[in-house]
Structure 1
């Protein structure tokens, strides 16, 4: 995914986190979800055509589709007030695939930082499965997780990439940040109170 695309993924996660926390109406948030979803669907189509059979480039483009269809699904579900179980089961499917992308990043691309980021994304999609398909009352907790991930997995890496300094960030720093975030997520789960956010507001 390009740094520009990743930056706007951070933007939509930020919007969706506020929606889950009850700060933004679901229908209002759906507009930006559709904008980013379209961006993340049109872009990989172009990249696949441009790849001319290059399997590595096609593989990278396939990962972008996971985001694009997620945000389109979220946007349309919120806009039309649809039942959320289909979106939830889709999120479970994406969570499994994200583990595969993480494995490739770690062991085939030797990209420790994005291996970690894909792991976090897998966890986030799994949380949305629990909220949307299993109706677990953890939407406020998921909103907090989404808020943090909007910054540490998307916005900050994308900005550093655009500034051409992402490669200067050491793997050690990435592991430390990931460890602190994981501790926050664990502590937050056990201290979170039942959510008051309605199931009609969905995000990913």
Structure 2
């Protein structure tokens, strides 16, 4: 009786070892297949984007290169009698915006962003309204003057008016800013009253 139990256990142990051996063989075969099918990344060619990077891998090297176009801008403040270039903003020597005859002239076609700030002083003379108007000047025998943007202030207290506008302009166009106020009741100085523009980059 005891010999039969030993024989059964011995046979069961052999069967169990056989199963383990088969399982190990299957695992080895699967792992080998996965390693063979996975590509070696070290032998893959680099993408075109990677080949276009500068040697040091920095995009700033391209942006700061001499080939990058310089920004075109202008900023003006009110002088004694007319607008003048803001001394805090360096004059752009080769810009497409230039001050002439109290107007800003366009040298290059494109989209431009204009901004205006005017600070009105406290006024007690019964003035009903004060205005700030941005005009696109007309071209003689071709186009009429057109109002692009206007801000109207009703009140006697000190107030700062701000407005902005994006507009597409052609070479030869010009713009002017007009402040309508009795006795010039607005603050002078670059920190109070100014206007300017910059050309938006093409896309």
- Bin of the TM-score, shorter chain as denominator length: under 0.3
Asked which structure has the greater CA Rg, the reply is 2
Highest RCO, 1 vs 2 (Cα 8 Å, sep ≥ 6): 1
Higher-helix-fraction structure: 1
Length-normalised TM-score, structure 1: 0.22
